[in-house]
Amino acid sequence: MGLFGSKKKSDKPVAVGPPVDPHWVKSPVGNFYKFNSLDPEDLGLEGQSAVFVIWHAGVKPGWVYVAQTGDLAKALHAVAQEDEIMQYDIRGGLYVTWSLIKQEFQNGVVRYLTNSMDLLVENPNEPGMKITPVPVFAPGMEPKKE
């Protein structure tokens, strides 16, 4: 799914219904942000409630981590201290995007993305299986604008 897929079949429940475009944030030039070049404070991300996705590029790209937060700047700084996530930077660079999804839908969006992506790092605060998945397009899979 998204920028790169997985051929593995999964028994994880995925919500039924068409995904919606969460309007994943890109840089002013239309590219996703390189994680190590991002300054959350310069972008005004302090106190912003959002869902964010991190992935690595390279020869065999992969989804790394998905989470939600009430303070995006703080969460991105915390992720930068996590060796389990940062180890993937050498595989073509880490990239990040986020969406300012309403807080009441964030758990469902994280649940859907977690179910549909083959993540390399498990989120210790991942919403439980009882949360109803909210289908969204993964970064890079948004419908083309006409």
Identity of the amino acid at 42: D
- Whether the Cβ atoms of residue 118 and residue 138 lie closer than 8 Å to each other: no
Indicate if the pLDDT at residue 8 is higher than 80.
no
Residue-wise pLDDT for 90-136, tens only, equals 999 999 999 999 999 999 999 999 999 999 999 988 888 788 999 99
Q: Which class would CATH give 34-116?
A: alpha beta
Q: Which of 140, 129, 141, 136 is nearest to 10 (CA)?
A: 129
In this prediction the pTM is: 0.86
**CA–CA separation, 98 vs 59, rounded Å?**
24
Rounded to 5 degrees, φ, ψ at 99 are -140, 135
